[in-house]
Structure 1
Amino acid sequence: MPLMNKFWIILSHTYMTKVKSKSFFISTALILFFIVAIANMNNIIELFSSEDKNKIAVIDESGVLFDPLNQSIESTNEDVELILYENSTDEAKEEVQEGELGALVVLSLDENEFPEASYYANNISDNSTESMLEQQIQQIKVVMATQKAGIDQQILADIYEPITFTKNALSEGAKTSEELNQARGIVYVMLFILYMAVMIYGTMIATDVATEKSSRVMEILVSSASPITHMLAKIVGIALLGLTQIILILAVSYVMILSKKDELTGGFFEYFGIQNTSVSTYVYGIVFFLLGYLLYATLAAMLGSLVSRVEEVQQLITPMTLLIIVAFMLSMVGINMPESNIITVTSFIPFFTPMVMFLRVGMLEVPIWEVALSLGLLIGTIALFTIIGARVYKGGVLMYGKSSSLKDIKKAIALSKKEK
């Protein structure tokens, strides 16, 4: 059987087995449901929220605080309605306990003629309402205090008005503050996608290899196809599975964006940098995504071949998982300090390059030789691990018994030499 035929048979078997599994359908359906729910969150909130305003009784013992407070509430909060309560405090508390009123606020003046308030409610866990009322009363106090001191309100507004502070980059080709903000959002999104894909599909590869090995199917497969053919077919098959899931997610997200374009245009796209991000950022994102996947997928397949039971997979791939987590944490730190020495140095370490170097090229003007060097080191490392991984894979799939140490890699390589 020609080599490519064996490759495609193993690849198609891996892909079809996974794509027809219940776990794939359930996980994809849950993600798509989550995306649709997020896109329609406002409608969902409105569906479960009451149209009635939160009625709050106000007993104004000062005789001067209710009107300014009511005017301020009406202009800033449509969900709250203040009612000037004429009866006693005890009667108001009873109505609150019976649910006829949402809460009670008693306003008065202290010895300095400044506002003070007491808030009564059946449950004081609604921090939003309490904080809103406290802030509004605090503003009234500021106005009264400045008037008492003879300070003009316009002067006070001028004092608190933010200063004009512009940021200007002197280096040629350096990005402006606006461009950095735009890049920061899209870089964060793509880093998160890369992190999740490597974690999920890398673990899936290791688990799939361990599952076949535990059923002794692996011995038949390896005897009919070379280890490197089998390993690469597994990696590409799981990659296509992930691509299928990502395409479905992107398609649904695109439909949701189109249906909500009037609501999302501006703030959403500007925040995540989708409107003005350069094409090169997306190209780099795809390149580093694919190379990062290949690097960690090769490691996952190699480690998965060392275990005899599926239960041992998580323990043996822990070092790989820690590398991914460190790379992600470095990237999150680097988003706010992309020019730091630690980010620059780690961007050339192959295990961190897919995330950290992508962060740099997305937010900075990185010299082309640095990008080429990091890509060269990354591709070289992938090639090296592919060669080593194939040997470990060939020997590892024939190893049975408890395996919980990376020292078994040496044993697997030695066993693969005996099989030649």
Structure 2
Amino acid sequence: MDKFFLILSYTYTTKLKTKAFIITTIIMIACVTLMGNMSRIMDMFKGNDVKKIAIIDQSHILFQVYALQLKKINKDIEPVQVNSSEKQLQKDVFKGKYDGYLVLSLNEGLPSAIYKAPTLTDTDFSNYLEQALQIVKGGVAAAKLNLSPQQLSLLSDPVSFKQMTLGKNGKTSAQLAEARGLVYVLLFAIYFAVLSYANMVGTEIAKEKATRVMEILISSAAPVQQMFAKIAGIALLGLTQMAVLLGIGYLVLKQNMNTMQGSFFSVFGFGNTSPATILYAIIFFLLGYLLYATLAAFLGSLVSRIEDVQQVMLPMTFLVMIGFFIAMSGLGNPEAGFVTVTSYIPFFTPMIMFMRMGMLDLPIWQGLIGILILVVSILIFALIGAKIYRGGVLMYGKNTYLKNIKKALQLSKSK
């Protein structure tokens, strides 16, 4: 047992001190700090965002009412009525005097417009112009039909449409929206963490084989002991990195609580986070890591060069990606049949079962079944992986990976 903790400690401290880990952590901290202070940074660069648009009113009656509606929609748009020719306006636009110009006219008695600008990339601005024109058109059409303001209001008022769940503990649409945002964020965390840390296990083992350090290690400790020590060591490394990021994130959010209370927390649901959802996220994250780290360990033991690691890890990467994309698609309809079925497939369970438990009011036994499936799968893969690892670490040279697995099992039996 002492050798296990010795290898664990060596793996943890060695990776903790590497430049790659330190630089990656610093970059992540910078990203978290940047995202947390995004509203303040945007305010610093906001400056004067008033859009100035020239309007040629060929109808001679639409400008006042159109400008009024435009200001109601967006106060940062400044409409200016001009009598210049289009040729002159184009020169003014390119000189920066206006952001663009609009030609208002009547087409069969109803308002129409043509908007011209150097670029049409600002779709929000174009939408504001169109919305204002739509309102003006409604008013003109109502006047033609002799509709009173009350009658026009009845036509434009949105319909009353409510959704109610018949389930005893079913989530409302607002609760589902909050849960969807929270699960979305946590799914990304699980996906990137499991993928990066599991790959780190395989890369570390391949690196030791390439430098012949493995030959020294196997003479002092059993290969299986090495395998699980490295998995545990990199797990601790990942938890250390995540703890640092969470700590920085908490401080940044606490500092910006007032500016983010109405946006970040309401959109992603962190204001009403269920403790059960957080608990499931932690459990499925750890089990998902152990499952893929076990796979990565014996896959890494099959290659002799670091350059071959990514190739041999490709099938595992695809499995993680498939599970992630199914979970993402399931956010829109978590009760879909294919989502339910795939949540019980071990490779996909960490993300899809977590998504279902976060989004739906499922009984606890379903979550426990998902956890049990993962635990049993980890034990099975650990037993198989240990046998392949035991022989794989002794193999050098270039072969096909299927042949390598067969050869590793043969070497394992002969030991």
- State the TM-score bracket (shorter-chain normalisation): over 0.9
Question: Deviations for 1:125-170, whole angstroms, at most 9, x for unmatched residues?
Answer: 3333333223312321121112111123322332333333333333
**Conserved in 1, the CA contact under 8 Å of 2:39 and 2:259?**
no
What is aligned with 1:37?
34
2:389 aligned with 1:393, yes or no?
A: yes
Question: Deviations for 1:19-57, whole angstroms, at most 9, x for unmatched residues?
Answer: 222211222222222222222323333434442633222
2:137 aligned with 1:141, yes or no?
A: yes
Q: CA deviation at 1:354?
A: 1.4
What is aligned with 1:214?
210
What is aligned with 1:229?
225
Q: Which moved more, 1:86-95 or 1:197-206?
A: 86-95
**2-side partners of 1:163 and 1:244: how far apart?**
52
**Conserved in 2, the CA contact under 8 Å of 1:315 and 1:404?**
no
2:165 aligned with 1:169, yes or no?
A: yes
**2-side partners of 1:38 and 1:28: how far apart?**
15
The alpha-carbon distance between structure 1 residues 106 and 366, as it changes in their structure 2 partners (threshold 3 A), is closer
**Selected match of 1:65 from 62, 66, 76:** 62
Structure 1 stretches of 5 or more lacking a match?
Answer: none
**Conserved in 2, the CA contact under 8 Å of 1:350 and 1:377?**
yes
**Conserved in 2, the CA contact under 8 Å of 1:312 and 1:404?**
no
Amino acid at match of 1:360: R
**Conserved in 2, the CA contact under 8 Å of 1:11 and 1:234?**
yes
**Conserved in 2, the CA contact under 8 Å of 1:227 and 1:391?**
no
**Selected match of 1:361 from 346, 353, 357:** 357
Amino acid at match of 1:91: Q
**2-side partners of 1:243 and 1:319: how far apart?**
25
Structure 2 stretches of 5 or more lacking a match?
Answer: none
Q: How does 1:319-398 map to 2 (within 5 A)?
A: 319-398=315-394
Amino acid at match of 1:370: Q
The alpha-carbon distance between structure 1 residues 224 and 247, as it changes in their structure 2 partners (threshold 3 A), is same
2:98 aligned with 1:95, yes or no?
A: no
**Selected match of 2:291 from 285, 291, 295:** 295
The alpha-carbon distance between structure 1 residues 230 and 52, as it changes in their structure 2 partners (threshold 3 A), is closer
**Selected match of 2:122 from 101, 120, 126:** 126
The alpha-carbon distance between structure 1 residues 114 and 406, as it changes in their structure 2 partners (threshold 3 A), is same
**Selected match of 1:281 from 273, 277, 287:** 277
Q: CA deviation at 1:237?
A: 1.2
Q: Which moved more, 1:406-415 or 1:163-172?
A: 163-172
The alpha-carbon distance between structure 1 residues 169 and 107, as it changes in their structure 2 partners (threshold 3 A), is closer
Amino acid at match of 1:307: V
**2-side partners of 1:43 and 1:155: how far apart?**
44
Amino acid at match of 1:32: I
Q: CA deviation at 1:62?
A: 1.9
Q: CA deviation at 1:121?
A: 2.9
Q: CA deviation at 1:122?
A: 3.1
Amino acid at match of 1:108: S
Q: Please give the secondary structure, in 1, of the residue aligned with 2:362.
A: coil
Question: Deviations for 1:244-277, whole angstroms, at most 9, x for unmatched residues?
Answer: 2111211121112111111221442232222223
The alpha-carbon distance between structure 1 residues 153 and 331, as it changes in their structure 2 partners (threshold 3 A), is same
The alpha-carbon distance between structure 1 residues 333 and 127, as it changes in their structure 2 partners (threshold 3 A), is closer
2:52 aligned with 1:55, yes or no?
A: yes
Coordinate RMSD, CA, aligned:
2.0
Q: CA deviation at 1:231?
A: 0.8
Amino acid at match of 1:196: F
**Conserved in 1, the CA contact under 8 Å of 2:94 and 2:118?**
yes
**1-side partners of 2:192 and 2:382: how far apart?**
22
**2-side partners of 1:119 and 1:369: how far apart?**
59
Question: Deviations for 1:172-191, whole angstroms, at most 9, x for unmatched residues?
Answer: 33333333222222222222
Q: Please give the secondary structure, in 2, of the residue aligned with 1:170.
A: coil
Q: Please give the secondary structure, in 2, of the residue aligned with 1:339.
A: coil
Q: CA deviation at 1:82?
A: 1.6
**Selected match of 1:183 from 179, 201, 209:** 179
**Conserved in 1, the CA contact under 8 Å of 2:69 and 2:135?**
no
The alpha-carbon distance between structure 1 residues 58 and 17, as it changes in their structure 2 partners (threshold 3 A), is same
Q: CA deviation at 1:378?
A: 1.6
**Conserved in 2, the CA contact under 8 Å of 1:191 and 1:355?**
yes
Q: Which moved more, 1:236-245 or 1:153-162?
A: 153-162
Q: TM-score, normalised by structure 1?
A: 0.92
**Conserved in 2, the CA contact under 8 Å of 1:316 and 1:404?**
no
Amino acid at match of 1:184: R
What is aligned with 2:195?
199
Q: Which moved more, 1:255-264 or 1:70-79?
A: 70-79
Identity of aligned residues (%): 46
Q: Which moved more, 1:218-227 or 1:77-86?
A: 77-86
**2-side partners of 1:121 and 1:187: how far apart?**
41
The alpha-carbon distance between structure 1 residues 178 and 126, as it changes in their structure 2 partners (threshold 3 A), is closer
The alpha-carbon distance between structure 1 residues 59 and 337, as it changes in their structure 2 partners (threshold 3 A), is closer
What is aligned with 1:17?
14
Q: Please give the secondary structure, in 2, of the residue aligned with 1:406.
A: helix
Amino acid at match of 2:153: A
Q: Please give the secondary structure, in 2, of the residue aligned with 1:164.
A: coil
**Conserved in 2, the CA contact under 8 Å of 1:54 and 1:80?**
yes
What is aligned with 2:154?
158
The alpha-carbon distance between structure 1 residues 41 and 367, as it changes in their structure 2 partners (threshold 3 A), is closer
**2-side partners of 1:18 and 1:85: how far apart?**
67
Q: Please give the secondary structure, in 1, of the residue aligned with 2:52.
A: strand
The alpha-carbon distance between structure 1 residues 46 and 266, as it changes in their structure 2 partners (threshold 3 A), is closer
